[in-house]
Structures are given as C-alpha cells and as structure tokens.
Chains A and B, each alone.
Chain A
Amino acid sequence: MTSMPHTLAPGNLRADQRLPNQLRPLSTSFGTLGRVDGSASFAFGDVQVLCSVTGPAEVRIRDELVDRAAVEVSVRSLPGVSGTTQKSLSALLSSTLSPLLLTTHHPRSLIQLVSQTLSSPALPTSQSSTFPALPISEKAATVNAGTLACMDAALGMRGVVYAVGVAVLPAHLPDAILPGEEEAERMQEDEKEGQGEEVVFLVDPTAMEEARALSTHVFAFSFGAGVGGDEGTVVGAESLGVFSEEQYLHSLDLVRTAVQEIRDFVRSEVEQRVREGAERDQVPADAKRRK
C-alpha cells in the first residue's frame, strides 16, 4: 500500500479551511414569504433551506382532529423529484417538530409546513440516479428551518429543535476525488480488515466530504423546559454506513456541542430582530396626538 494523503491538511484543516468540529457560516432570514403565516430560512454556508408555515387554518374534514391541530409536513428538494428520501425527511421533520408545537391550543385546525431547499451544491454525478440521497447538512438545515418558521408564525411551542450532521471519514484517503469501482472495492476490503483504522469526525460536512465518508449521522436535539432544558436532549437520529458504537457515541457528543452553537446563534438573531422591530414601531417623541 503506497502512502496515502491525510484527509485533513496540516494544522488539522479541512478543504475549506475549517476545523473538524467547526460549522460553516450560519445564516437565517425571517418572514420573506408573502402569503403564508410564517416563513424562515436557515443555511449552513451555501446549503440553504426555506420553510413556510400556515396555521392555524381551516382543515379538511377527513384530516380534522377534535382535540388538537392536525400537522401536515411536506418536503421539496431542488431537483423536484418526490420519492422516499423526501418522505423520510418529512417524517424526521414531523416527528421532531410536531411534539413541540402546542397543538392542543388549536383543536380542529391545520398547521401546514412546507420545506423547500433553495440551494444545495451537490457533486456532479455522471451516473443518473433516480432518487439520490439528500446531503445530511440539507436534512439538518431542513429541521432548523422548520423550527424557525414555526417561530416566525408565532405558533405556541414548548421548545425548539436543532439538528447537525457529522461524517466519519478514514484518516487516510486515496488520491481519487471520487472512488472509482476498483478503489471502492479496495476501500471495502480495507474496511473489513482494519476495523480499528483511524478515522476523523467532520461536523457539518460538505457534499464532497460526505462522498468519502464511511458513515454519516444526523442528530436532532430539542431545547426547552421539560423537553431538554438548556443542554438539549436527542429527539431525532439518522445514521448511514458502517460504524462502531464508539464512533456513534462520539458523533453524538460532537453534535451535542454543535447544536448549542446553533441555539445561541438563533437566539442572537431573534433578539436582534425583536429589537429592530421595537425601534421601528416606536412612536417618535414629537408625534402629535390626535384630538
């Protein structure tokens, strides 16, 4: 075996100059859509997802629940195909977010969430694949956008949920950017032989990093009184690949720290927004009173 380059450059840096546990620059926007009750977008770098919320609104008789609001979640990705990957992400979003909404405040009504990926640079695939897997940062961004959109719609919530993805890569990688057939076979053999091989954990992976991963994980944490408090508790977990229990738990820990960063970031964004809104709404001191 010839000596292979390390996944991380000297100084422990990734291809985009990040540290292994560093998130890409986060950005959010609120209230950009005109005809819905709430909307927000969340981005990890240039992976951006927009979510809209309408509700409480009129519900179709067949979906009506007598003691609470019905929650409808739909996920759309950029290429527009709607298959099992989108349904699965929709299930993740629904299962992590719905329990946090105070649906019993709005019986016999509908809360409708639609998530739309705005940007998600993927690797150019030379083989056409009908339902390509969604990048895990896109999944994480969808959960985050969902939470923010519900906040923007002023829905009663008992907590918030944030998610981040982690990719586990071998510490040494072959030269090819994308493993070809021969390389993939050799890598699989290497995997079987050396279970204890060195790995690196990359938080918030890019599509390129994810393509070379041995396993990928997305964890969602909820925060709020009774639903995780300030430290957060795991409410969603999706993993794909070959990994050990040790690797799994380490990934979980890394995400636990990362989501707190997201929580703090969102808090400061919302604070700023509320402050700006208050300044805007303030009546100027010299405004004349109506008679």
Chain B
Amino acid sequence: MPREADVNLSSKAFVTSALAQGLRVDGRSPLELRELAISFGRELGNVTIRLGKTTVLAHTSISLAAPSPERPYEGTLAVHTELSPMASPFHDQIGRASDEEVLLTRMVDKAIRRSGAVDREALCIVAGEKVWALTLTLHFLTDDGNLLDAAVLASILSLKHFRRPDVTVVGSEVTVHTEDERVPVPLAIHYTPICITFAFFESIPQPILDPTHLETQLATSFLNLALTPQRELLVVSKTGGSPLEGDEVMCCVGWAVERVREVNERIEKALKEDLQKRVLEVR
C-alpha cells in the first residue's frame, strides 16, 4: 500500500501538549516500558516477544557448513529480518527495503552479530572444514512502534533458548548426534545485548522510552542504546534532526542501565521457567 498518511494536527497537538506535561497517551510515565510478554514455542529457539501490541517472532536454526577461508576457526551467524505487510500494511512486501527497514536490520545486526555476543569459535567443529552455520530469522507480526527493542530481545532470547546437536569428532570424521542419542548443547553466549530506544520531541526536554507507533510518527529524533546488564555499552545510534547534548545522552544511558537490568531479570526468569518445563535428558 502507498505511504501512510501523516498524523492529523489535532492528534499531534494533543500528544505533544500532553508530553509537555510529562503525560503519555497510554497512561505510561515517560521512562516506562510497555507490558512485556514472553512466550516460547515448542521448538527450542522459537520465541515470541510482545511489547505492548508490538509483536516479534524469532527463530533460530542451524546447519553444517564449510567455514569462510578468511576465518577457518569460526562458525557463522546470519541474521535475517524482513518486514512484511503483516506488521503494518504500509510495509511493502516487494524487494526494495525502506529506510526504516534498513536501519532496523543494521541495528539488530550490530547488537547481536557484530557485537560478538555469540562465540563463533565455539561453533567450529573441524578447523577449515566443518563449522556450524547459525541462522536467526526475525518475523515482525505487529508494528506498534519500537520494533527494534522487541527484535533485539527476541533475538537474544531465541539464541539463549536454542540448543544445537552435540557432535563427536574423531580425526576429521564428524558424527552429529540426534536428540535421542545425546542431549542438545546450548550456544556459547558471552553477554545479553538489550536495546532501549528513546524518542525526542521538539521543544520538549524530557525524552520518552519505548515509543508507540503514534509517538514514533511525531518524534523528531531517536536514540537507540544497546547495553549489557553488566553496564557495558554495545551500540549507540542517534537518528533524526534535532541536536542532542552530550549530557543528555549520558542521562539516557543512566536510565537505560536501569531498564536493562529489569528486563534482564525478566528474561532470565522466563528462560529458567520454560527450560524447567522441558525434558532435556536422554531417556
């Protein structure tokens, strides 16, 4: 479908005047996340994240491959993201990716793949010959703003939830064990990247966290911060026109650290509960 219509002036005036008083249309305080719901599918690595109405599904799969000649000791991780008209009818399904989609894909790639969260050397089976090739696919089911944070959460949860088949290597002969022979093995993950997005509005000093679709349409610039629960910064991305002071950025980092800590507790708890429900031992 062609371009989405701009937000009408009355809505714009209402939302911005409320924000000037520190109020948000859905009743949240400026630095409050929407309700986070985590659900796991039957297969390991199949995770659905709901942030308010924004829904993202992540799926991890693995296969054997030859390593790239420049990096014979490393496995590979590929991240596929594709916006479809299911998320919002204004996303074209045909090839050409919109700016928004490109930004989203690159941020997820930086936070999950390029940050080195997943240990790729641990994916090596026989150096130079056989490695594991991981594929993480993200499906966007509903876009009610802030797909990025939901996507990064879904991604890291899916990778942490996933179990790969166990292998035995004798010389250069590789035996891949099925689920019935040996318990599948978790991936080696160094840290948990979690992304927090801030939206800024013209002449309003206080930024908001986790914007909805409506707030996203009206915001003038965004700050995406990917951090770990150990208070390390992975990615900082600021987009949009209005300038931002260095102090403001540091302030946002401080708030983000708090949120990341809370979110991390949630996801660790959800992972633990789900894995307890599953029978992962050899019968």
A78 touches B59 (CB 8 A): yes
* Cβ–Cβ < 8 Å partners of A72 in chain B: 93
For A50, give its contact among B80, B89, B141, B176 (CB under 8 Å). B141
By beta carbon, the residue of chain A nearest B64 is: A128
Does residue A194 face the partner (Cβ distance < 8 Å to B)?
Answer: no
A58 touches B2 (CB 8 A): yes
For B64, give its contact among A33, A52, A79, A126 (CB under 8 Å). A126
For B142, give its contact among A33, A60, A82, A110 (CB under 8 Å). A33
Does residue B61 face the partner (Cβ distance < 8 Å to A)?
Answer: yes
B109-145 with Cβ < 8 A to chain A: 133, 135, 137-139, 141-144
Query: Inter-chain contact count A-B, CB under 8 Å?
Result: 98
Q: What's the Cα separation between A97 and B175 when bound, in Å?
A: 45
Does residue A106 face the partner (Cβ distance < 8 Å to B)?
Answer: no
Does residue A215 face the partner (Cβ distance < 8 Å to B)?
Answer: no
Question: Count of chain A residues with Cβ under 8 Å from any Cβ of B?
Answer: 34
Does residue A91 face the partner (Cβ distance < 8 Å to B)?
Answer: no
* B 50-78 to A, binary, CB cutoff 8 A, 1 in contact else 0: 00010101010101110000000000000
Does residue A11 face the partner (Cβ distance < 8 Å to B)?
Answer: no
* Cβ–Cβ < 8 Å partners of A209 in chain B: none
Does residue A74 face the partner (Cβ distance < 8 Å to B)?
Answer: yes
Chain B nearest Cβ from A148, distance in angstroms? 15
By beta carbon, the residue of chain B nearest A33 is: B142
Answer whether A127 and B64 are a contact pair too, CB < 8 Å, given A58-B2, A80-B59. Answer: yes
| Most B CB within 10 A of own CB, among A46, A79, A110, A177 | A79
Q: What's the Cα separation between A79 and B135 when bound, in Å?
A: 8
B164-196 with Cβ < 8 A to chain A: 165, 176, 178-180
Does residue B268 face the partner (Cβ distance < 8 Å to A)?
Answer: no
B85 touches A112 (CB 8 A): yes
Does residue B216 face the partner (Cβ distance < 8 Å to A)?
Answer: no
Q: What's the Cα separation between A60 and B1 when bound, in Å?
A: 7
B42 touches A121 (CB 8 A): yes
For B43, give its contact among A35, A50, A119, A177 (CB under 8 Å). A119
Chain B nearest Cβ from A17, distance in angstroms? 17
For A52, give its contact among B65, B82, B85 (CB under 8 Å). B85
By beta carbon, the residue of chain A nearest B63 is: A128
B2-56 with Cβ < 8 A to chain A: 2, 41-43, 46, 48, 53, 55
For B179, give its contact among A46, A57, A124 (CB under 8 Å). A124
For A57, give its contact among B89, B137, B142 (CB under 8 Å). B89
By beta carbon, the residue of chain B nearest A61 is: B2
Does residue A108 face the partner (Cβ distance < 8 Å to B)?
Answer: no
For B59, give its contact among A50, A79, A110, A125 (CB under 8 Å). A79
**Residues of chain B at the chain A interface (Cβ within 8 Å):** 1-2, 41-43, 46, 48, 53, 55, 57, 59, 61, 63-65, 80, 82, 84-89, 93, 133, 135, 137-139, 141-144, 165, 176, 178-180, 213
**Residues of chain A at the chain B interface (Cβ within 8 Å):** 33-36, 39, 46, 50, 52, 54, 57-60, 72, 74, 76, 78-80, 82, 110, 112, 114, 116, 118-119, 121, 124-129, 177
List 16 other contacts, CB 8 Å, given A35-B143, A58-B2, A127-B64. A33-B55, A34-B53, A34-B144, A35-B89, A35-B142, A57-B1, A57-B89, A59-B1, A74-B85, A74-B93, A80-B137, A112-B89, A114-B86, A114-B93, A118-B57, A121-B42
